[in-house]
Amino acid sequence: MMKKHVAANVSWIGYLDYELKQFHGSEYSLHHGSSQNAYLIEEGKTVLMDTVWMPHEFDFLANLKEVMHGDLHKIDYIVANHGEVDHSGSLPLLMQEIPDTPIYCTAAAVQSLEGQYGKLGWNFHVVKTGDELDIGNGKKLVFIEMRMLHWPDSMATFLTGDNILFSMDAFGQHYCCPEMFNDRADQNVMWDEALKYYVNIVNPFAPVLKAKLAELKKMNLPVSMICPSHGVIWRDNPMQIVEAYEKWCSADNREDQVVIAYDTMWNGTEKIAHAIAEEIGRQSPSTRILVYNIADSDKNDVVAEIFKARAVAVGSPTEINDVLSSVSGWLTYVKSMKFKNKRGGAFGCYGWGGGASKVIQNRLTEAGFTVIPETVDANWNPKEEDLAKVPAFVQDLLNDGYKA
């Protein structure tokens, strides 16, 4: 039986995905697995807080039955904080066994759940921010809509008395941590994964997050523990992850770092990339320089580094008046991150007809970067006169008023 004690009468009954390598299809790379955290609250009433991903539905149900001593009808309420399949995927199987059990969720979650699984006549109870559910023994669940963090249906739930915030995806990490709690986790892995999760999942909604964090502060909830839906439970100084989110969603989270990202066909664009890296080192020795061949690099990790960076230089050879497909797809992903307050520059080689740098400049502008007018373009392989453009390019790229 997999039921791990969290606090008081709250247990973890989720799924540890040790070997999972990809998430959201192939959109999100996992280097340390992941977990789907479902919870059970056993007070006067028994509450199931979310479920796990559909591939694990039979394991989840078998475990839940064992935990409930064979009687799933002992579950009085289900809370569905979010309709995404990694948390709701076991609901259809579960609801076949207990079809009348009330499901507490947002109005948008009714749409997302019915949209995915069909109109199955589930007993939905729609809740809004501030609505409460009495679960006996003097304790209540207080619901908090978390619209667009990161789906329209997202919600958090606060358990009074024990002061636990079930935050859903917010404050989570794709990190399979059997030790379960933040004070027992590998600190480097935990913070790297928390930042990567924030950048790739939450940062596109940073303005919404900022307003929500202010709203949560006003609610003055005495939070003693934060239980997200992925990764570690924040029990030691739980507000440290809230403070990190406040910093990450602020207007200026930049570090003294520049990312150079490119693809190359016959190594000419690569030579320019390396020349830019060396010049940054000459002009600004304190700046951390990261160079990636886009085609061979993990886009989720690279955008986490761009998030920290002051500037990005993007290069591609021209192919049929455009950039390489690897660069084009990558720029689409970068745009979806909605980065702010960063400079961008373009470079690349071309043979008979150019154009890649212009395409990159336009795409970076669309993605919210402040694009410098200088480019480093080379007809065929970069020659001395082409590389002579690098110092002015770097000077403008770093001319952002950055102060450490």
Residue span binding ligand FEO (CB under 6 A) among the ranges 38-46, 82-90, 115-123, 298-306:
82-90
Choosing from 197, 198, 262, 350, which is the catalytic residue? Answer: 197
Choosing from 5, 24, 73, 274, which is the catalytic residue? Answer: 24
Minimum CB–partner distance for residue 203 and ligand FEO (Å): 14
**Each residue of 19-49: b (16+ CB within 10 Å) or e?**
ebeebeeeebebebbbbbbbbbbbbebbbbb
Nearer to ligand FEO, 86 or 145 (CB): 86
Nearest residue to ligand FEO, scored by beta-carbon proximity: 84
Choosing from 32, 87, 174, 230, which is the catalytic residue? Answer: 230
Give the pair of three-digit tokens for residue 29.
Answer: 């790379």
* Residue 150 appears among annotated catalytic residues: yes
The yes or no reply on residue 300 touching ligand FEO (CB under 6 A) is: no
| Residues with Cβ within 8 Å of residue 280, at least 6 apart in sequence | 258, 287, 289, 394, 397, 398
* Residue 162 appears among annotated catalytic residues: no
Minimum CB–partner distance for residue 263 and ligand FEO (Å): 31
CB atoms under 10 Å from CB of 321, counted, come to: 12
Nearest of 197, 125, 195, 192 to residue 168 by alpha carbon: 197
| Residues with Cβ within 8 Å of residue 297, at least 6 apart in sequence | 261
Minimum CB–partner distance for residue 87 and ligand FEO (Å): 6
Residue 14, φ and ψ in degrees, nearest 5: -90, -155
Choosing from 86, 145, 270, 377, which is the catalytic residue? Answer: 86
The answer to whether the beta carbons of residues 8 and 224 sit under 8 Å apart is no
Binders of ligand FEO among 211-230, rule CB under 6 A?
A: 229-230
List 50, 57, 86, 263, residue binding ligand FEO (CB under 6 A): 86
Residues 143-182 as x/- pattern, contact with ligand FEO by CB under 6 A: -------xx-----------------x-------------
Using a 10 angstrom Cβ sphere, with 0-12 exposed, 13-18 middle and 19 or more buried, the burial of residue 304 is buried
Choosing from 43, 57, 153, 169, which is the catalytic residue? Answer: 169
Choosing from 82, 174, 193, 262, which is the catalytic residue? Answer: 82
Residue 382's Cβ-side half-sphere holds a number of Cα atoms within 13 Å equal to: 25
Nearest of 149, 162, 130, 143 to residue 104 by alpha carbon: 143
Rounded alpha-carbon distances, angstroms, from residue 254 to 47, 250, 309, 357: 42, 10, 6, 25
* Residue 193 appears among annotated catalytic residues: no
Continuous H helices in 256-352: 268-283, 299-308, 325-336
Choosing from 32, 56, 150, 174, which is the catalytic residue? Answer: 150
List 10, 67, 75, 82, residue binding ligand FEO (CB under 6 A): 82
CB atoms under 10 Å from CB of 165, counted, come to: 24
Minimum CB–partner distance for residue 383 and ligand FEO (Å): 50
Residue span binding ligand FEO (CB under 6 A) among the ranges 79-87, 131-139, 180-188, 276-284:
79-87
Choosing from 42, 84, 263, 270, which is the catalytic residue? Answer: 84
Residue span binding ligand FEO (CB under 6 A) among the ranges 84-92, 137-145, 210-218, 335-343:
84-92
* Residue 18 appears among annotated catalytic residues: no
Give the pair of three-digit tokens for residue 332.
Answer: 């689409």
Nearer to ligand FEO, 87 or 343 (CB): 87
Binders of ligand FEO among 316-345, rule CB under 6 A?
A: none
* Residue 84 appears among annotated catalytic residues: yes
Nearer to ligand FEO, 86 or 270 (CB): 86
51 alpha carbon, distance to own chain's centre: 20
Minimum CB–partner distance for residue 228 and ligand FEO (Å): 9
Give the pair of three-digit tokens for residue 265.
Answer: 């066909």
Minimum CB–partner distance for residue 284 and ligand FEO (Å): 39
Cα–Cα distance measured from residue 106 to residue 257, given in angstroms and rounded to the nearest whole number: 41
Nearer to ligand FEO, 150 or 389 (CB): 150
Cα–Cα distance measured from residue 91 to residue 83, given in angstroms and rounded to the nearest whole number: 10
List 12, 57, 78, 87, residue binding ligand FEO (CB under 6 A): 87
* Residue 69 appears among annotated catalytic residues: no
List 50, 76, 84, 153, residue binding ligand FEO (CB under 6 A): 84
Cα–Cα distance measured from residue 403 to residue 254, given in angstroms and rounded to the nearest whole number: 10
Cα–Cα distance measured from residue 335 to residue 204, given in angstroms and rounded to the nearest whole number: 9
Q: Which residues are near ligand FEO by CB under 6 A?
A: 82, 84, 86-87, 150-151, 169, 229-230
Give the residue numbers marked as catalytic: 24, 82, 84, 86, 150, 169, 197, 230
